[in-house]
Every structure is written in C-alpha cells, then in structure tokens.
Structure 1
Amino acid sequence: MTESPEQRPAVPGRFSRLRSLPQLPSWWPLPACVLLGAACGLSYGLLATPQYSATGYAMAVTDKGTDSAAALGFAQSYGRLATSDSSLAYAHGAAGESVKELRAQVQSETSPDSPMIAVTGTSESPRRAAEIANAVVEAVIVSSGHVAKETGVKIIKFSHAVPPDEPVSPSAPLGTAVGASAGGLLGGLVLLVRPRPSRRSAEAHVPAPAHATAEPAVADERELV
C-alpha cells in the first residue's frame, strides 16, 4: 500500500540542516583578526632580513668675528642638504652604493637647540651601515668647506659612526605584538561598520514552538466476546 503525500514524514533539506548548526557569536571577527595579525607579525619577525643602523654626528662652528647664533641656522640648512642628490653623489663612491640606493638608506636629523647634525645609514650589513653614515657626513663637511670663507661657518666631524651590534628591525616578539594590536584594531573596526540584522529579521529566525502532529489512539471500549 502506497503512502499518501500527507502521510510521508518530512525530510529536512540542506538549508534546514545548515540552520541547525551552531552559529558563531557576533563578535567573532575580533579574535579572528587578532590571531591573523599576530601570525603575520610573527612571520615578518622571523622571515624579514635584519636591518642595521649606524649614526654619525657633525657640528656647525663659526669663525672668529661671526655671530655664534649663525651656526644653528647653518646646521639646519646643511642637515637638509645631507640627503640631497649633490651630497649623495659625492658620497656614493665611499659608501659603495648608488645614489638611488643611498636615497632610501640615509636619514638626517637636526636639533632646534643645538648646531648638531645626525646622519644615519641603514643597511643589511653593520659595517656597510657605518660606512654609509660616515661617507655622507664627509660629503657635508666637504660641501661646507667650499663656502666657509663666505659664510663664516664650517661643518666639522663630531662623532664617527661605528658598526652596530644589534639590528633595528623588529624582532619576533615585537612583530607579534604589533601584528596582534593591528589585528585587534581592524577587528574592532569591522564590528563597528558591519551591518546589524534588523529586529524583524531576527524575529523571523526564531523557531516556532513544536506541536504534536500525531494524536493518541483511542482505545476501543468494546469487549470481544
């Protein structure tokens, strides 16, 4: 005897099975982004090539008869000229790097309170980093000597750059911490900008109470003789 469609048990479909799976909490992007950022930071700290930095110092001094306050202004000017093409073109021979490479490997800093110029060289080799800094400092000294008679100010070497013992690139623990912080910030932004489900749609996903579909059988009161 074939069963009618009304008598056949309902077979749950694929979508009903998916709905029965446990749902992730609404804040899941935050820990996921933290873990992803920490993994990226750890990978960078372990795989990145170490970079070394060495710093040499030069100082502006005035000749006799020249106002000492002029040294501070010329130190600012020569500090900006340290990374110019003319200074790098003079220094690239002693540094062993091209002008294009030196432009990304040299930084200069000056102080508003002191006629001091700090030139920092960066390289994968500690010795090369010190050579780059010293070569650029020497280029600034030579450049200032060409106009020292007219300006009354010259640049002298104050401190020689020495090869560093440790790299300045982020270590594995520091890279992990920075990556986790960046991931946490990104996860927080995702939670803020993502669309939230409306109240009506949330109520639509609430399952209805189950009702009994089968009625209990009624016992026959008649006795069989």
Structure 2
Amino acid sequence: MRAMRRPDAAGPRRAAGAAWRRMPAWAPLLLGATLGLVCGTWHAALAEREFAADGYVQVTAADGDAIGVAQAYGRMATGGAVLSAAAEGAGVAAGRLADRVRAATSPDAPVIEITGTGPNGAAAARAANAVAGALVDLAGPGTRLTQVLPAAPPATPTAPVPPLSIALGVCAGAVVGGAASLVRRGETARAVPGSDAPLCTAVDLDDL
C-alpha cells in the first residue's frame, strides 16, 4: 500500500513571504495608519463618556488672609470629612466620590474651584455641588464660605475627544506600519542573492 504524501506546509509560507517582499515599501505604513484610524474611530465612538462640571466657592476670613484660608479649605475639599458629608447629596459612596471630584485654588484670589466628574452631565454637577455645599457647612469660626457659582450640567463630554482619539490611533498605526516596513526591507535584502556582500571594501592606503 502506497504511503500518503503529507502536504508541503512550506509552500504556502514561501508564497506568503514572497508576496510580503513584493509589497510596495509604503504599503505597511499605509495599512498601519488605516488600522489606527479604524481603532481610533472605534474608541471615540464606543468609549465611556465622562462629563465635568465646575463650581466655585468664595472664602472670606476675619483675619484678612482670605487667600491662605482658601488654600487650606481647598485641601479639605477632597478630604474624608467633606466627602462623607457630601456622599448622600452626590448619590454615590464617599469612596467613589473621591475619584469624581477635585479642588483647585488660586494664588491671587480667595476662590476654590471644585470640579465634579461623572458618566453624564447631571451626575458631574451633582458631585461638584454636593462637595461645595458640604465644604460651606464645615466653615470654621471667623470664616465664611459662599458658593458663588454652582456647577451646571455640561452639554458635551470632556472625554473621549474624537479628533484626539483618531489622531493618536493614526499615529500609533503609522509607527507600527513603519516598523513593519523596516522589517520587510531587511527580509527583502536577505532574500536577494549577494545582498550579504559588504557595501564597501577596504582600501589599501599604499595603492592611493
């Protein structure tokens, strides 16, 4: 009985390698950039949205150093006492609220900017206003805090930013495609007979 001949698996690999080497030099770069464009667009369309809302609290101090007092209260705004008091109004646990708010102060004005973030505009504004209200309630003697500008629900998300996502995707794809093009060039050079020959030969100075 004649033995069955096993298919030669090297044939398809050689054909694929030859097709890869015949590919134009710019093709991997174009393919990488196109793939990056698709991935960047996909991320911009499907990534979870994040909204941010800003509110402002003004500080008045009896001793006149309102800016210094505002900076101190700015550090307190994201502390445990304020977050625990604001959790119910924000509708989230204090631990999660800590990831959704941040506070910033100015060296020139006694104002605290409180930024809330969330999956929608209403949640972002609710987080910022809850923290601002809790901070106002914790004002100490000789200090008055006033929420001069409550946070309003934003209409558009802050992330993802579609142009940025697409640009980053295209750039990343182009880098990968460029690397693949360099690899292809090296493989093509090794496949050409005589390509391992040195590019230049030594010259004896006595022959000059």
So what's the TM-score if we normalise by structure 1? Answer: 0.67
Q: Deviations over 1:132-155 (max 9, x none)?
A: 111101111122x2x233xxx332
**Hey, what does 2:88 align to over in structure 1?**
93
Q: Percent identity?
A: 33
- Measured after TM superposition, the shift of residue 92 of structure 1 is 0.2
**Hey, what does 1:159 align to over in structure 2?**
149
Q: Which runs of 5+ in 2 are unaligned?
A: 1-9, 196-208
Q: Deviations over 1:91-120 (max 9, x none)?
A: 001111111211111121222222211111
**Hey, what does 2:7 align to over in structure 1?**
none
Once the two structures are superposed, the pairs formed by residues 160-175 of structure 1 within 5 Å of their partners are: 160-175=150-165
**Hey, what does 1:77 align to over in structure 2?**
72
- Measured after TM superposition, the shift of residue 161 of structure 1 is 1.1
Once the two structures are superposed, the pairs formed by residues 5-84 of structure 1 within 5 Å of their partners are: 14=11, 17=15, 20-21=18-19, 23=21, 24-25=23-24, 29-63=28-62, 66-67=63-64, 70-84=65-79
Figure out how many residues of one structure are paired with residues of the other and give that number: 184
**Are 1:27 and 1:191, in contact at CA under 8 Å, matched by a contact in 2?**
no
Does 2:120 match 1:125? yes
Paired amino acid for 2:106:
S
- Measured after TM superposition, the shift of residue 90 of structure 1 is 0.7
More off after superposition, 19-28 vs 110-119: 19-28
So what's the TM-score if we normalise by structure 2? Answer: 0.72
| Secondary structure of residue in 1 paired with 2:136 | helix
**Are 1:57 and 1:118, in contact at CA under 8 Å, matched by a contact in 2?**
yes
| Secondary structure of residue in 1 paired with 2:117 | strand
Quick one: structure 1 residues 22 and 174, their matched pair in 2 at CA, closer, same or farther if it must change by over 3 Å?
closer
Q: Look at both structures and tell me which one has the larger radius of gyration over its CA atoms.
A: 1
- Measured after TM superposition, the shift of residue 186 of structure 1 is 5.4
RMSD: 3.3
Q: Deviations over 1:27-55 (max 9, x none)?
A: 65543442333222211211123322211
**Hey, what does 1:9 align to over in structure 2?**
none
2:192 to 192, 205, 209: 205
- Measured after TM superposition, the shift of residue 78 of structure 1 is 1.5
Paired amino acid for 1:56:
G
- Aligned equivalents of 2:98 and 2:177: distance in 1? 36
More off after superposition, 18-27 vs 133-142: 18-27
**Are 1:46 and 1:171, in contact at CA under 8 Å, matched by a contact in 2?**
no
**Hey, what does 1:148 align to over in structure 2?**
141
Q: Deviations over 1:159-180 (max 9, x none)?
A: 1111122222225444222322
More off after superposition, 23-32 vs 123-132: 23-32
Quick one: structure 1 residues 187 and 91, their matched pair in 2 at CA, closer, same or farther if it must change by over 3 Å?
farther
Paired amino acid for 2:141:
A
Quick one: structure 1 residues 58 and 32, their matched pair in 2 at CA, closer, same or farther if it must change by over 3 Å?
same
- Aligned equivalents of 1:27 and 1:19: distance in 2? 17
